A and B are shown apart, each in its own frame.
Chain A
Amino acid sequence: MDPNEGELRDVSVVSADVLPGGALAVEEQGAAELSPRARLWPSLVAVYRAQLSRARVARIPLLFVATFQSIGIMILMRGVVDGGGEARAVVAGSAVLVVAFVALNLLAQYFGQLRANGGLDHYATLPVPPAAVVLGAAGAYASFTVPGTVVTAVFGCLLFGLPMTHLWVLVAVIPLAGAALAGLGAALGLLAPRPEFATLLGQLGMSAALLLGVLPAERLPEVVRLARDLLPSTYGVEAFARTFGGDPDWALVLGDLAVCAVVGVISLAVATWAYRRAAVR
């Protein structure tokens, strides 16, 4: 006899007749009361916390890669640009590149894989608002870029001799550029028909952020500059780059950040819609 059989035969000692609520055959009259929904903020916090711990376990090596990549690019560009506006663009672009790497590329991959594996079923069978899942994950990925972005920015300032007076603006740049890029990443991951596409789109998005954000705009051809204007990370880069000047034009900084915020709201809304669509097939 199979060793498992004995243990299996022991189960179900409860006779169905003695169950609370009466005999089996009695069907409920009318609809039963539903358990409460999870509310938006508590579930957003729960998803955020879980995603952050996930990121701690699985993503630390990738964060190092992102940071070293940006630092490496700045060292390379040191030989090409010699201070001034171009240096500011390089430092700002490299710092925002860390955000693009994690928030756009990695989040697109994560959602692409979750959708392909059937992992979304877990969330879809919990009474949690779709926005909580998308915003929680996007928020965690965006938060996770903070150390890399700060390290890159400080290193860049030292390398190119830029003032660190206004580095505090990262407090606004990271969450807003993070929202825009994470929203884009989540939407791409959830909309891509196959996980390979999600990975590809994430990589392309990051490559675009690298080329269009780090290379000084003045040296790019007209068509590429247009593409640069369409990329949300550009506005994060511009906003950050402006603050290295002696007397930054804060209105323009705010304008750039506002573009990031609007793109963030729209892309996160699209991602939430895409999640709903992906959850019930």
Chain B
Amino acid sequence: MCAVRGLTKTYPAVRGRRGVPATPEVRATDDVTLDIRRGEIFGLLGPNGAGKSTLVRQLTGLMRPDHGSVEILGHDIVRHPERAARILAYLGQDSSALDELTVSLAAETTGRLRGLEVRRARAERDAVLDELGLAALAGRPLRKLSGGQRRLACFAAALVGERPLLVLDEPTTGMDPVARRAVWAAVDRRRAEYGTTVLLVTHNVIEAETVLDRVAVLDRGRVIACDTPSGLKERVAGEVRVDLVWRESAPLHVPEVAALRDRAVESGRRWTLRLAPEEARTVVATVTGGAAFAALDDFTLATPSLEDVYLALGGAARQGLVRA
């Protein structure tokens, strides 16, 4: 359905000016090779700045790569970027083109610009707004809505005018659980009825684990792994994640706790440890008894998530992936 080969894009170095420091050359996508199959929900997971959006912009014809090829449904998108608009629907991160329109007009206009005639665009608009539970907000301008509602309205606009490929760049940002459910139900219905393929960009590991068929993990412009979420998690099956939250600060006077400090990733009162199951059991026994327990506020013991996979594969960013 979508074949990406050796895709490379380098942002040139920027010379420093007064008040603006120079930035070195950045390789935003580095020799990326992917195959997205028809009807699957394929994810790009990585922290902010990993090159997800840059990659997606090249797949949607918005940016020309330096090298490499992108083929979607047999069409060469690098040579004919204008064809992308006739194959896919894109939900970008920015809503400023639609912000001052009402929800209803935003959806209708987008449908018209996707080539639908007036009557068809209106019918599809009404169907999509009903499906996503937006009918009550139809007459409100997007900029008066909350972040999550606005995102949902933009998603509605992306759905008007059927396309075989949906490219969604962090579609559920800021949404409440009801809106998220509406998004995934709408995606699932299109997949079942039309065999729609979805390319989803996310930095949310829970979302990645639950909705994706396959996921490519991106780090500094490279694909460091590509598999099903469970296939990826098997790679770190020997590990358990232990999160310790201290009441005020870690009781470093306890020798066992002090010994753990080097292996913990600290973030405020929280320590995160990745340990073999045996070790994890010992640590839990230590902190839930004796002197350390008095200082402990909370702890969790969890099987590995895609975040652990990302770190185990050598992902550089300690933060940037979200569990929500």
Binding site for B on A (CB under 8 A): 2-5, 7-14, 16, 19-21, 24-32, 34-39, 42-43, 46-47, 49-50, 53-54, 57-58, 113-114, 117-128, 132, 279-281
**A121 close to B115 (CB less than 8 A):** no
**A32 close to B184 (CB less than 8 A):** no
Could you show 19 A-B contacts with beta carbons less than 8 Å apart?
A2-B323, A4-B324, A7-B177, A7-B181, A8-B207, A8-B210, A11-B187, A16-B39, A28-B73, A31-B75, A37-B86, A50-B106, A57-B141, A119-B97, A124-B62, A125-B60, A125-B84, A127-B114, A127-B115
**B37 close to A24 (CB less than 8 A):** yes
Main secondary structure of the interface of A (DSSP, over half): loop
Q: Looking across the interface, which residue of chain B has its beta carbon closest to that of A13?
A: B188
**A122 close to B38 (CB less than 8 A):** no
B55 on the A face (CB < 8 A): no
**B115 close to A32 (CB less than 8 A):** no
Output the residue of B37, B96, B323 with the most chain A CB within 10 A: B96
**B109 close to A28 (CB less than 8 A):** no
B306 on the A face (CB < 8 A): no
- Residues in A neighbouring B100, C-beta threshold 8 A: 53-54, 57-58
The minimal Cβ–Cβ distance linking B88 to chain A, given in whole angstroms, is 7
* Contacts A28-B73, A32-B75, A121-B62; A21 near B181 (Cβ below 8 A): no
**B97 close to A32 (CB less than 8 A):** no
* Contacts A2-B206, A31-B75, A280-B64; A26 near B38 (Cβ below 8 A): yes
B146 on the A face (CB < 8 A): no
**A280 close to B141 (CB less than 8 A):** no
* Contacts A2-B206, A30-B74, A125-B60; A14 near B1 (Cβ below 8 A): no
B40 on the A face (CB < 8 A): yes
> Which of A11, A42, A281 has a CB less than 8 Å from the CB of B63?
A281
B90 on the A face (CB < 8 A): yes
Output the residue of B110, B112, B118 with the most chain A CB within 10 A: B112
A13 and B188 CA atoms in complex are apart in Å by: 8
The minimal Cβ–Cβ distance linking B132 to chain A, given in whole angstroms, is 15
Known: A12-B211, A28-B74. 17 other contacts (CB 8 A): A4-B180, A8-B210, A8-B211, A11-B185, A11-B211, A12-B184, A20-B195, A31-B73, A42-B117, A42-B118, A118-B94, A122-B94, A125-B61, A125-B62, A125-B90, A127-B113, A281-B64
**B85 close to A125 (CB less than 8 A):** yes
* Contacts A21-B38, A57-B100, A122-B92; A38 near B180 (Cβ below 8 A): no
A54 and B98 CA atoms in complex are apart in Å by: 9
Q: Which of B78-129 contact A (CB under 8 A)?
A: 81-90, 92-98, 100-102, 105-106, 108-110, 112-115, 117-118
Output the residue of A39, A127, A128 with the most chain B CB within 10 A: A127
B27 on the A face (CB < 8 A): no
**B74 close to A32 (CB less than 8 A):** yes
> Which of B37, B82, B92, B324 has a CB less than 8 Å from the CB of A118?
B92
**A34 close to B75 (CB less than 8 A):** yes
The minimal Cβ–Cβ distance linking A90 to chain B, given in whole angstroms, is 34
- Residues in B neighbouring A280, C-beta threshold 8 A: 61-64, 81
**A25 close to B37 (CB less than 8 A):** yes
B192 on the A face (CB < 8 A): yes
A274 and B110 CA atoms in complex are apart in Å by: 22
* Contacts A4-B177, A8-B207, A122-B92; A24 near B39 (Cβ below 8 A): yes
The minimal Cβ–Cβ distance linking A199 to chain B, given in whole angstroms, is 15
**A28 close to B211 (CB less than 8 A):** no
A122 and B109 CA atoms in complex are apart in Å by: 11
Chain B, residues 1-40, CB within 8 Å of chain A (1/0): the string is 1000000000000000000000000000000000001111
Q: Looking across the interface, which residue of chain A has its beta carbon closest to that of B208?
A: A8
The minimal Cβ–Cβ distance linking B181 to chain A, given in whole angstroms, is 5
**A53 close to B101 (CB less than 8 A):** yes
B241 on the A face (CB < 8 A): no
The minimal Cβ–Cβ distance linking B43 to chain A, given in whole angstroms, is 11
**A19 close to B185 (CB less than 8 A):** no
A11 and B89 CA atoms in complex are apart in Å by: 21
B170 on the A face (CB < 8 A): no
**B93 close to A118 (CB less than 8 A):** yes
**A38 close to B73 (CB less than 8 A):** no
- Residues in B neighbouring A3, C-beta threshold 8 A: 177
The minimal Cβ–Cβ distance linking A4 to chain B, given in whole angstroms, is 5
Chain B, residues 180-199, CB within 8 Å of chain A (1/0): the string is 11001101100111110000
- Residues in A neighbouring B187, C-beta threshold 8 A: 11
* Contacts A11-B210, A24-B39, A281-B63; A2 near B324 (Cβ below 8 A): yes
Q: Looking across the interface, which residue of chain B has its beta carbon closest to that of A32?
A: B73
Q: Looking across the interface, which residue of chain A has its beta carbon closest to that of B176?
A: A4
